[in-house]
Amino acid sequence: MEYCELGSLENARLSPVYTDQEKTINHYFAQLIKGVKKLHNIKLMHRDLKPANILVTKINDKTRLKIADFGLARDAPDSIANLTFCGTPYYMAP
């Protein structure tokens, strides 16, 4: 894995360097959705998506997000429901 010098989104949200401007949030969210869509296109479920597992880096002076920690990731065949309870409770869907 490459080094992401800006840490994770968990660290970023606590840092005064990052502001909660709508444009920045929209930019991050769009990148995150594209990443999750790519995972789903290859039939992969991350199952523990949270700020600590989203790394932040700079590429050509642009901030980029990278999804990390695929320890709980599993194949997601169309015909089989995923009934396994896993992930970080605070970030799980209700």
How far apart, in whole angstroms, are the C-alpha atoms of residue 59 and residue 17?
17
Q: In the annotation, is 69 catalytic?
A: no
Catalytic residue among 20, 48, 69, 75: 48
Rounded to a whole number, what is the largest CA-CA distance in the chain?
46
How far apart, in whole angstroms, are the C-alpha atoms of residue 92 and residue 94?
6
Handedness of CA 12, 39, 80, 73 (dihedral sign): negative
Q: Catalytic site residues?
A: 48
